Amino acid sequence: MTENIHLNTTFRRNIFQSAVGLLIFSLMVIFSYIYAPDPNLYYGGAILFLAIYMWLLTPVSFIFSTFLIIVASVGLGLLPREEAFSGFSSGTLFFLMGAFILAMTVEKHDLHKRIALSFLNHFGDSPKRFILGVTLVGAFLSMLMPEHGITALFIPILITVFLAAKRKNVLESNFGKANLLALSYGTSVGSIATFLGGARNILAVEIYSNYTGESVSFVQWIVSTIPVSIVMMFIVYFVLIKVFTIEDIDMVHIRRKIEKEIVLMGDFKMGEAKALGFLLSGFIAWAVLGQFFGMGVIAVALAFVIASTKTITWDDVESKMPWGTLFLYVGAVTLSLVLPRAGTLERITHFLLLYVGENPLLILAIFTILAVFVSGVMSNAAVTAITLPIALTTMDGMGVPLIVPMYTIAMASGFAFILPIGTPSAMLVYATGHLEARDFLKAGLILSVLGIITFLTVGLLWWKILGYW
């Protein structure tokens, strides 16, 4: 009965939010048509509002939000119907699908669980060292598969090993809280380092490529982002052990429980071996052949081989594929085509430069801060889709190569530290019931500020060394 009441309340709220959003959008279009000398400019603004509203409140799924953006773009004459569905034909979309299938293969055969337990087994000597281990293993695994998948695996592992400790209520202790936050924050900072870490990374490259005509390879992305990611891993660790006073926990029983879990997994199985082989093959193929055949072609070829060897089935793919994320990507591509044609980006840029001036470092800092804090309430990919085109248009011609804001905004949008709703990973650890919102707030505010400083110091210095600017 209670569940039905909750569902009905949610349904009514979603209907109301959808109606309000469509009403405001309609009024913007009508007033633009009647009063604006160039209605297309304001039509673009109306579609930008619609995207932000739907992606922020999500009264309907990303799938239907994308349909709405496409229909509005064609209906208002901002996109010809031949181009309206171009996002579905993008090789990047198929790269994402192949990458998700590879991640499902690793997850299905528990390869990531074996890696995680073996890694943690070397960090069980002390409570603080264990927190470092959770941060690092979460970060490095999130370079191979989406961060929420790592978190979903790790939570039961942490709870199981903590229950083995002699001390009661370990999960309610600062040690327990710090580990849960280390898992959430670790996966966030690790996910920025490869295309496999999150849809926002490959989406940023697609938007950048559409704007400049230049491409970014699989290896180039890793080389450009890994130093920032590693620095942030240790910043996460030091912030957590300073913000939370870590108790003296007897680690002997925790260490024994981890060793027992490793033993229970048994010998390395054929499924794990195949998953590891596909993982390594994918990395090598994307690194060596990606520039010649395209990331998407290699991804679908890899997915075909995985399926043909029965390592994964269509039922696995159908039930676990994040279809909403894929459609969000398509909607983002559509938005990135509409806004320049409507002239909306140029108008936003004009107002920004009017009030801020043409200091490229200051403008980059503003967009970085915006990406970090807005990602706390909106999908990371959505933040990238909205912020990056504006940043590229604003900074074009300022003497700073546009690859710099592309990296900065893509990475900054992944740093949603402050609120439990910031990322799926944060929501998962919050849902355990062992963390409060203020736990995220007191550590997340510090990490957000340090993350922004890291982008604008370590990031810019490293990209200077690489010759980007």
Per-residue pLDDT reduced to its tens digit, 8-61: 778 888 999 999 999 999 999 999 999 888 888 889 999 999 998 998 888 988
Query: Which whole-number Å values give the CA distances from 34 to 23, 38, 359, in the listed order?
Result: 17, 10, 37
Query: Which whole-number Å values give the CA distances from 430 to 138, 146, 197, 422, in the listed order?
Result: 16, 18, 21, 11
Query: 68 and 28 in one domain?
Result: yes
Q: Alpha-carbon distance 194 to 371, whole Å?
A: 19
Structurally, the chain folds into a number of domains equal to 2
In a domain, residue 235? The reply is yes
In a domain, residue 47? The reply is yes
Residue 381, judged by CB atoms within 10 A of its CB (0-12, 13-18, 19+), counts as buried
Query: 133 and 103 in one domain?
Result: yes
Domain assignment of residue 191, given as a range: 91-313
Tally of CB atoms within 10 A around 231 = 18
Look at residues 38, 61, 84 and tell me which one is the last residue of a structural domain: 84
Q: For the CA atoms of the chain, what is the radius of gyration?
A: 23
Look at residues 26, 52, 84 and tell me which one is the last residue of a structural domain: 84
In a domain, residue 415? The reply is no
In a domain, residue 306? The reply is yes
In a domain, residue 449? The reply is no
Look at residues 313, 328, 363 and tell me which one is the last residue of a structural domain: 313
Task: Return the C-alpha torsion angle 37, 39, 41, 44, nearest 10.
Answer: 170
In a domain, residue 263? The reply is yes
Query: 139 and 167 in one domain?
Result: yes
Q: Alpha-carbon distance 130 to 246, whole Å?
A: 11
What's the confidence (pLDDT) of residue 168?
Answer: 63
Tally of CB atoms within 10 A around 19 = 11
What's the confidence (pLDDT) of residue 19?
Answer: 94
Query: 107 and 54 in one domain?
Result: no
Q: Alpha-carbon distance 158 to 147, whole Å?
A: 16
Is residue 265 a contact partner of residue 117, using CB atoms and an 8 Å limit? yes
Query: 239 and 126 in one domain?
Result: yes
Is residue 239 a contact partner of residue 447, using CB atoms and an 8 Å limit? yes
Over 33-84, what HEC string results? HHHCCCHHHHHHHHHHHHHHHHHHHCCCCHHHHHHHHHHHHHHCCCCCCCCC
Contacts of 230 (CB under 8 A, 6+ apart): none
In a domain, residue 452? The reply is no
Q: Running DSSP on this structure, what letter comes out for residue 85?
A: T
Identify residue 219 by its one-letter amino acid code: V
Query: 211 and 191 in one domain?
Result: yes
**Dihedral sign computed on CA atoms, order 162, 163, 164, 170:** positive
Q: What angle do CA 39, 45, 49 make, to 5 degrees?
A: 140
Query: 133 and 64 in one domain?
Result: no
Query: 97 and 57 in one domain?
Result: no
DSSP H stretches of helix in 192-251 = 199-212, 218-243
Q: What angle do CA 147, 152, 154 make, to 5 degrees?
A: 95
Residue 166, judged by CB atoms within 10 A of its CB (0-12, 13-18, 19+), counts as exposed
What's the confidence (pLDDT) of residue 3?
Answer: 53
Query: 125 and 215 in one domain?
Result: yes
Tell me the pLDDT of the chain (469 aa) as tens digits: 555 655 577 888 899 999 999 999 999 999 999 988 888 888 999 999 999 899 888 898 889 999 999 999 999 999 998 888 888 888 888 998 999 999 899 889 988 888 888 888 888 788 899 999 999 999 998 998 888 778 888 888 888 878 776 666 777 789 989 999 999 999 999 999 999 888 899 999 999 998 999 999 999 999 999 999 999 999 999 999 999 988 888 788 888 888 888 888 888 899 999 999 999 999 999 989 888 888 899 999 999 999 999 999 989 898 888 888 889 889 888 888 888 888 888 888 878 788 888 888 899 999 999 899 888 877 888 889 889 999 999 998 888 899 999 999 999 998 888 888 778 888 888 888 888 888 998 899 999 999 999 999 999 999 999 999 8
Identify residue 79 by its one-letter amino acid code: L
Query: Which whole-number Å values give the CA distances from 144 to 43, 103, 246, in the listed order?
Result: 40, 7, 30
What's the confidence (pLDDT) of residue 249?
Answer: 82
Residue 311, judged by CB atoms within 10 A of its CB (0-12, 13-18, 19+), counts as buried
Q: Alpha-carbon distance 23 to 34, whole Å?
A: 17
Is residue 136 a contact partner of residue 233, using CB atoms and an 8 Å limit? yes
Q: Alpha-carbon distance 150 to 107, whole Å?
A: 9
Q: Alpha-carbon distance 429 to 232, whole Å?
A: 20
Q: What length is written for the chain?
A: 469
Q: Alpha-carbon distance 194 to 220, whole Å?
A: 10
What's the confidence (pLDDT) of residue 258?
Answer: 84
What's the confidence (pLDDT) of residue 4?
Answer: 60
Query: 15 and 31 in one domain?
Result: yes
Query: 116 and 32 in one domain?
Result: no
Q: Alpha-carbon distance 331 to 87, whole Å?
A: 7
Query: 15 and 117 in one domain?
Result: no
In a domain, residue 100? The reply is yes
